[in-house]
Chain A
């Protein structure tokens, strides 16, 4: 089954780069994983860059750090805890896409890359619950492995970058990190690399950044850049319209707009519901490092558990109880993405400075007052990041979730995701393009009208300075 519409295009592109090799299809799958996680990591990093505390920023200016030094000495360390959390959660989200992207259709050719995803796809095709069970087992193993070997050490290591004035009571630990630190032969490799890196940090040649060296004012460069972008966008828009108008009528557009509105309603309701559940829980967990340590692997497993595996169960249940497909398919969309909110709120609550926490308890702030004036403002930037990524993920997941299969049983809900999935299966390229374009416009509007104001609010009024 083809997934996100653009995959069919990227596969053609990458396959033409490496004709006759698996590498092309491999890269297309990697690209799908990349697109599913890169923007959300970039967003976390971006948010950290914008909220670098002013005193650290001034110190950095005082030392006349070059852009390179500032990047590695201030910005990367400061953003590290948040970034590690986001990497973990992107990884979890990406499993959802692996299941979909390993079985790729190129025109009339079906390329199945060996992997857990294609194994599961095959199991769904053949209605083999036992194989699904084995896949879950293998997936569990892989997730645990990833957690122990990669993310635990990263969390333990990035803990030293936490920004606060008082020391924390508990420190995350990792046996892999301890092992790596104790082994001597590993040092033999690590020390020269580290020395080279530190040596590169001594240079501060472009003291005030590159901008000063430019002969033209930055405003002009910006204008030229925006002009190029606008021209490119106009050209793309014009060619899309020209391509679509030959085959499609206004009726199609109206239908897709209506379907997108339905999907948008679904996303909005799901985000509100998920926030009501996960914000309080996330705060409770995040403020207790010991809990966070125990719950994090569990939550990570739940998040990584590809929702696609639960789809068959949902199909069976919906058919059995004759439920409304439009309502009961919706939870599948949020199944994989609600964790973005939980993870971010946990990260926000555990990064909440201990001194502020202690001040609040000295003032005996409790109950609703504590929530409203202490913790909610404290975690708000994190929450907004989480909610933005969750809604983005839900939009993405709609393509898979509104059109679910188990063997030869198919359930279709009303929504633009089902529209794209159906047209992709039928190979109806103009309508795929129309669906993707309208979906993209809706996502952009949603972001402009809802998330952008909230994000500005978080940035302007709720900084931890």
Chain B
């Protein structure tokens, strides 16, 4: 309801006009999308690429490693969330969780 009012009261042009917060938010969103794209593209690369490049202990590689780990964690979290909602909903009739 509130967003409906927001869009109609200010008129279409004013409501859609970017404000100063967009200066910060839009680059952030686009930047993280780009990073995610880079990471995902590395994820689907052929296996040989990974096996040839051994892990180097040079700290300058750490940001890239961190990005990969972050994406992995995010994927795990999303999968867990889906599992949580579906499992707990499909299993509410049992007296105790059948996981245990």
Contacts and interface: CB of A to CB of B under 8 A. Distances in A.
Interface of A: 20-26, 29-31, 33-34, 37-39, 41-46, 49-50, 71, 75-76, 83, 87, 90-91, 94-95, 98, 102, 111-119, 121-123, 126, 128, 131, 134-135, 137-139, 141-142, 145-146, 179-180, 182-188, 191, 194-195, 222, 388, 444, 447-448, 451-452, 455-456
B24 interface: yes
Contact of A42 (B22, B66, B84): B84
A379 to B, nearest CB: 20
A183 B26 contact: yes
B62 A116 contact: yes
Interface of B: 3, 6-7, 15-19, 21-22, 24-26, 29, 42-47, 49-51, 53-55, 57, 59, 61-66, 68-70, 72-73, 75-77, 79-81, 83-85, 87-89, 91-93, 96-97, 99-100
A194 B97 CA distance: 33
Nearest to A24: B47
B46 A183 contact: no
A186 B66 CA distance: 27
A3 B53 CA distance: 23
B22 A185 contact: yes
Contact of A185 (B26, B42, B54): B26
Contact of B18 (A33, A142, A185): A185
A185 B26 CA distance: 8
Contacts of B46: 20-22
Nearest to A87: B77
29 contacts: A21-B44, A22-B42, A22-B46, A24-B47, A25-B50, A30-B79, A33-B76, A37-B80, A38-B84, A41-B81, A42-B97, A42-B99, A45-B84, A46-B88, A87-B81, A98-B73, A111-B50, A111-B51, A114-B42, A114-B64, A115-B68, A119-B62, A119-B65, A146-B70, A183-B22, A185-B26, A186-B26, A191-B3, A222-B93
B7 to A, nearest CB: 7
Nearest to A452: B96
8 shortest A-B CB distances, which residue pairs?
A: A33-B76, A183-B25, A38-B80, A447-B100, A182-B21, A115-B69, A183-B21, A134-B59
A131 B57 CA distance: 6
Nearest to B25: A183
A114 B62 CA distance: 9
B69 A117 contact: yes
Contact of B100 (A37, A145, A444): A444
B69 A43 contact: no
A41 B25 contact: no
Contacts of A145: 70
Contact of A186 (B29, B43, B72, B75): B29
Contact of B72 (A20, A98, A122, A139): A98
A184 B22 contact: yes
B50 to A, nearest CB: 5
A38 B83 contact: yes
Contacts of B7: 191
A382 to B, nearest CB: 16
A126 B57 CA distance: 10
B65 A30 contact: no
Given A23-B44, A134-B62, A138-B66, A71 B89 contact: yes
B55 A114 contact: yes
Contacts of A30: 72, 75-76, 79
